[in-house]
A and B are shown apart, each in its own frame.
Chain A
Amino acid sequence: MSALHIKKGATRHSAYNLRPNFSDVQERHTIAVLVENEPGVLARVIGLFSGRGYNIESLTVAEVDHTGHLSRITIVTTGTPQVIEQIKAQLGRIVSVHDVHDLTVEGPSVERELAMLKVVGDGEKRVEALRLADIFRANVVDSTLTSFVFEITGAPDKIDAFADLMRPLGLAEIARTGVAALLRGD
């Protein structure tokens, strides 16, 4: 009946496979977003990520220019190159966003995070915790006879490593700020 010879049921792939040409390697990118410091701006950014199904590994935000009413949001995200491009383009579309920088692409950049770890214990473990803290250049910011609160700054993997070591030594609680990042050089 048709002029075509349609191969019925010939579809091998789901049409949801939207990006067959694009690499599906997951990449980790650190993106700095300069936004107007106004109510709701963080909700816009977070809503974009949840609404479109993007990942957030870490997100930090604080005002960086009081007179210009600008805040800097640093987002660490993972996705295929295609998704990363979309994330940047979609961020750029938000009216309150001034600037989007992919530090991973524009890099090299330095990344730092601050963490505080409460380690509870006594005896050998307590001594060992203190010794390791020294090696990692973590400071003791609070102590009792049975606990320490360490403060450590560094790249996220350094903090991960320190936390891993503290775990058997009585790590009770950890608070992390998320990543702040800047491009190197001028």
Chain B
Amino acid sequence: MTREMTGAKMVVQALKDQGVDTVFGYPGGAVLPIYDEIFQQNDIRHILVRHEQGAVHAAEGYARSTGKPGVALVTSGPGATNAVTGLTDALLDSIPIVVLTGQVPTFMIGSDAFQEADTVGITRPCTKHNWLVKETDKLASTIHEAFHVATAGRPGPVLIDIPKDVQFANGEYQGPKPSASHYHPTVKGDMQEITELVAAMETAKKPVFYTGGGVINSGPAASQLLRELVEATGFPITSTLMGLGAYPASGDNWIGMLGMHGLYEANMAMHDCDLMINIGARFDDRITGRIDAFSPDSKKAHIDIDPSSINKVIRVDIPIVGDVAHVLEDILKVWKSRGRKTDSANVAQWQAQISDWRKVNCLAFTQEGKTIKPQHALARLEELTKDHDRYITTEVGQHQMWAAQYLGFEDPNRFMTSGGLGTMGYGFPASIGVQMAHPDALVINVAGEASWLMNMQEMGTATQYRLPVKQFILNNERLGMVRQWQELLHGERYSHSWSEALPDFVKLAEAFGAKGILCSDPADLDDAIMEMINHDGPVIFDCLVAKHENCFPMIPSGKAHNEMLLGEAETQGVIDSKGSVLV
């Protein structure tokens, strides 16, 4: 189907044809023709954010909670540069988003025109791919290709830079058709490698599944197949921050999150296992700790759709390049056809060992006195919200790790957090994107007071669109995670890790026309949380918590999995000079 229309109209038409229902954006001179087209239609909702960074994080939240690509639309120059953090965030967490930027007209490119920036140049290293479209005739096909690239293989952010004259000019509209480009990554794993993995599973005495965001990115089928495989084999399973929810926290074989602030039992299992099955994770440095002491005695298998992830950090014995769902399906098929074998006696013993580790009860805390412990606040939040249709986003810091530790995720796409880039300011706009995609769900952003301030202007968006997002701020009046590192590494010299001059969050909420709740007494906590849940509208919940609580367990930088710190008493002089250069 080809039709003649303006470039601006093509943009809207192409988005519709791609099934887009929501665009997060902010107008400006270089995108006015597109905004004019948006004005004249009702199929696509445009959400006016208050800062372009917010638009991109909201698109990420939308994408992560739906599995569909998120879309953001921003103007040239400052609009595009404000989008850079979100693009980088999406690149590191492999989130499919499509960002459209306006550009000065083609005949002015290179002249330092008003609001000109080399957008494709700036965003080349922080997108999976990007395009500058110089001819209106190529605009529609480029947009369709952009959706293909964003979602095919390892997902990621893409950007299309559209000069204003291209938006005004007429051209032939092309509808979507199967991508003609050469870009079609392998999804099916090599059967020989898969068979080798199955053989290793049959004889493993101390196996562990180590899963990551790739399971969630692969789609709901991958989580289903993972659950089937875990139940059928009885192998224990841990996950990265990015993969939480792919296997349910209430599942029998769940041993908790692993990594720098992961659970004792999960990290010990990783260290001592004899077969590690990495499914869609990438041996990130937050996970491995000290590389040369990482799981020294295990055979390692790695399933990843991106060949560059394999052997990048950790050398693996069984590399399988493919899409998680496809590969899991084949693993199950082969394993069943070979008689569903496992070394169940030894695996049971292994499970018993893990149960012993679990008895360390590494997340234990005592809530006493008149101050709310942040762990307690999250434990109560979990208790009071777990039966809701609930989505959680987070900011970055201690509260993020506590959220991962104390909240239980039963399904994929329910936990949205900035893992790879660790972007303070991610959680609030992401919660807006999630709420747009799931209008009736309970969407909670677990925040630190400092992170939350980074994109607090989005309160305007939340109230304008009546999005009942709950901003659950664990307010320790500290850049808590920074403070923790200063305590461990820098002789307790707390350089600039105070949150000074904080706003009155209740008044701030009210100033935006939203509801504010202050809670400082443990005795009031449950009622206050219920009040937050029951309020039909956006809420800022200012939860005053203990100021100097540290986040444990912790694998200090440069240490191995079995060198975890479990509590305050162990923190003295623990990171040596080599570890201290690490972040």
Q: Which residues of A contact B (CB under 8 A)?
A: 1-4, 6-11, 13-22, 36, 39-40, 43-44, 47, 51, 82, 85-86, 89-90, 92-96, 98
Q: Cβ of B579: which chain A residues have Cβ within 8 Å of it?
A: 11, 14-15
Do B291 and A2 touch (CB < 8 A)? no
Identify 8 new A-B residue pairs, CB closer than 8 A, beyond the known A14-B558, A15-B285, A94-B129: A1-B566, A2-B566, A11-B290, A14-B579, A15-B291, A89-B312, A93-B308, A95-B149
Q: Which residues of B contact A (CB under 8 A)?
A: 120-121, 124-125, 128-129, 132, 149, 154, 182-183, 264, 285, 289-292, 306-308, 310-313, 315, 357, 360, 557-559, 562-567, 569-570, 572-574, 576, 578-579, 581-582
Indicate whether A93 sits within 8 Å of B124 (C-beta atoms), given known contacts A4-B564, A14-B578, A17-B292: no
Q: Cβ of B121: which chain A residues have Cβ within 8 Å of it?
A: 40, 43
A-B contact pairs, 24 of them (CB 8 A): A1-B567, A1-B569, A3-B360, A4-B563, A4-B566, A10-B563, A11-B558, A14-B558, A15-B289, A15-B578, A15-B579, A16-B582, A18-B291, A19-B315, A20-B291, A22-B315, A40-B121, A44-B124, A51-B125, A82-B311, A89-B307, A89-B312, A95-B149, A95-B183
Q: Report the separation of the CA atoms of residues A53 and B129 in the bound assembly, to the nearest whole angstrom.
A: 20
Do B566 and A43 touch (CB < 8 A)? no
Do A6 and B565 touch (CB < 8 A)? yes
Cβ distance A100 to chain B, nearest Cβ, rounded Å: 10
Q: Cβ of B149: which chain A residues have Cβ within 8 Å of it?
A: 95
Cβ distance B289 to chain A, nearest Cβ, rounded Å: 7
Cβ distance B322 to chain A, nearest Cβ, rounded Å: 15
Do A39 and B132 touch (CB < 8 A)? yes
Q: Report the separation of the CA atoms of residues A93 and B307 in the bound assembly, to the nearest whole angstrom.
A: 8
**B120, B311, B357: which has the most chain A beta carbons within 10 Å?**
B311
Query: Which B residue sits closest to A38, measured CB to CB?
Result: B131
Q: Report the separation of the CA atoms of residues A6 and B565 in the bound assembly, to the nearest whole angstrom.
A: 8
Do A1 and B292 touch (CB < 8 A)? no
Cβ distance A76 to chain B, nearest Cβ, rounded Å: 21
Q: Report the separation of the CA atoms of residues A89 and B305 in the bound assembly, to the nearest whole angstrom.
A: 12
Query: Which A residue sits closest to B145, measured CB to CB?
Result: A95
Indicate whether A92 sits within 8 Å of B307 (C-beta atoms), given known contacts A8-B573, A18-B291: yes
| Nearest 7 CB-CB pairings of A with B | A89-B308, A95-B129, A14-B578, A20-B292, A1-B569, A2-B566, A15-B558
Which residue in A2, A18, A51, A96 is a CB contact (below 8 Å) of B567? A2
Q: Cβ of A1: which chain B residues have Cβ within 8 Å of it?
A: 566-567, 569-570
Query: Which B residue sits closest to A34, measured CB to CB?
Result: B182
Which residue in A13, A90, A95 is a CB contact (below 8 Å) of B292? A13
Cβ distance B2 to chain A, nearest Cβ, rounded Å: 22
Do A86 and B312 touch (CB < 8 A)? yes
Number of A-B residue pairs, CB cutoff 8 Å, is 103
**Main DSSP-derived SS at the B contact region:** loop
Do A9 and B576 touch (CB < 8 A)? yes
Q: Report the separation of the CA atoms of residues A4 and B312 in the bound assembly, to the nearest whole angstrom.
A: 31
Query: Which A residue sits closest to B562, measured CB to CB?
Result: A4
Q: Cβ of B574: which chain A residues have Cβ within 8 Å of it?
A: 6, 8-9
Indicate whether A13 sits within 8 Å of B124 (C-beta atoms), given known contacts A1-B570, A8-B573, A89-B307: no
Q: Cβ of B576: which chain A residues have Cβ within 8 Å of it?
A: 9, 11
Q: Cβ of A18: which chain B residues have Cβ within 8 Å of it?
A: 291, 313
Q: Cβ of B562: which chain A residues have Cβ within 8 Å of it?
A: 4
Do A43 and B183 touch (CB < 8 A)? no
Query: Which A residue sits closest to B571, measured CB to CB?
Result: A8
Cβ distance A4 to chain B, nearest Cβ, rounded Å: 7
Indicate whether A15 sits within 8 Å of B290 (C-beta atoms), given known contacts A51-B125, A85-B311, A96-B129: yes
Do B582 and A47 touch (CB < 8 A)? no
Do B573 and A9 touch (CB < 8 A)? yes
Do A15 and B557 touch (CB < 8 A)? yes
Do A2 and B570 touch (CB < 8 A)? yes
Cβ distance B488 to chain A, nearest Cβ, rounded Å: 12
Q: Report the separation of the CA atoms of residues A54 and B132 in the bound assembly, to the nearest whole angstrom.
A: 27
Q: Report the separation of the CA atoms of residues A14 and B292 in the bound assembly, to the nearest whole angstrom.
A: 9
Query: Which A residue sits closest to B120, measured CB to CB?
Result: A40
Q: Report the separation of the CA atoms of residues A71 and B311 in the bound assembly, to the nearest whole angstrom.
A: 29
Q: Report the separation of the CA atoms of residues A89 and B309 in the bound assembly, to the nearest whole angstrom.
A: 8
Q: Report the separation of the CA atoms of residues A44 and B570 in the bound assembly, to the nearest whole angstrom.
A: 47
Do B182 and A98 touch (CB < 8 A)? yes
Q: Cβ of B264: which chain A residues have Cβ within 8 Å of it?
A: 3
Q: Cβ of B572: which chain A residues have Cβ within 8 Å of it?
A: 8
Cβ distance B437 to chain A, nearest Cβ, rounded Å: 27
Which residue in B120, B565, B578 is a CB contact (below 8 Å) of A11? B578
Cβ distance A157 to chain B, nearest Cβ, rounded Å: 31
Q: Report the separation of the CA atoms of residues A21 and B314 in the bound assembly, to the nearest whole angstrom.
A: 9
Q: Cβ of B290: which chain A residues have Cβ within 8 Å of it?
A: 11, 13, 15
Q: Report the separation of the CA atoms of residues A17 and B291 in the bound assembly, to the nearest whole angstrom.
A: 7
Q: Cβ of A22: which chain B residues have Cβ within 8 Å of it?
A: 315
Q: Report the separation of the CA atoms of residues A134 and B128 in the bound assembly, to the nearest whole angstrom.
A: 51
Query: Which A residue sits closest to B182, measured CB to CB?
Result: A98
Query: Which A residue sits closest to B359, measured CB to CB?
Result: A3
Q: Report the separation of the CA atoms of residues A164 and B491 in the bound assembly, to the nearest whole angstrom.
A: 57
Q: Cβ of B129: which chain A residues have Cβ within 8 Å of it?
A: 94-96
Q: Report the separation of the CA atoms of residues A98 and B579 in the bound assembly, to the nearest whole angstrom.
A: 41
Q: Cβ of A6: which chain B residues have Cβ within 8 Å of it?
A: 563-565, 570, 574
Query: Which B residue sits closest to A91, measured CB to CB?
Result: B308
Q: Report the separation of the CA atoms of residues A14 and B566 in the bound assembly, to the nearest whole angstrom.
A: 22
